[in-house]
Amino acid sequence: MNKIKRCIIGILSIILLVGFDQYTKYLAIIKLKNKKPFVIIDGVLQFNYLENRGAAWGILNGKKVLFVISTTIIVAFLIYFFVKLPTKRRYNPLKVMTVILIAGAIGNLIDRIRLDYVVDFIYFNLINFPIFNIADCYVTISLIALIIAYSFVYTDDDFDFVKKKKKNPYKLPKM
């Protein structure tokens, strides 16, 4: 698949994933805000509306500008990385993981810009895990998959395309 077709598929995939994330957050706002939690599995899983003005676990609460700037920089790098990925099939898992990661970052970035907070609503009360959302799932799953792939599937040489510079035709070979 050529790079243009891959980029179009990547953009469409990101739009679909972000759309799903935003739709679930919209549902959380209209169905859960100012209401009792909606229990899915008693004692295990429930939907519980929360406005998160920080990062994971509410850290750096109220640092919207920091999150918007850092997320924008990260998304820009991820887009660059995606575009530079070689067209070989070997890199398909990285393409998918990168698209999912970009979608998650953009999903929460939209909330921060539009609402000044991120809408969270999924709560595993069995382990008292912090409330999260679909975009958080995208980010977490893709980062774990990227770490595993980088650790066990790919080598440092597989990422030379990121730093590859054009060869100087006038440079003499090393002896």
Catalytic residue among 136, 156, 158, 160: 136
Work out the end-to-end distance of the chain between its first and last CA atoms, rounded to an integer number of angstroms: 38
What's CA 101's distance to the chain center, in Å? 3
Cα 116–Cα 122–Cα 126 angle in degrees, nearest 5: 135
Which whole-number Å values give the CA distances from 55 to 71, 113, 130, 137, in the listed order?
Answer: 11, 14, 11, 14
Catalytic residue among 120, 156, 157, 158: 120
For the chain, give percent helix, strand, coil, nearest 5: 60, 10, 25
Q: Which of 138, 98, 84, 85 is nearest to 11 (CA)?
A: 98
Q: Are 102 and 14 in contact (CB under 8 A)?
A: yes
Residue 111 is a catalytic residue: no
Residues serving a catalytic function are: 120, 136
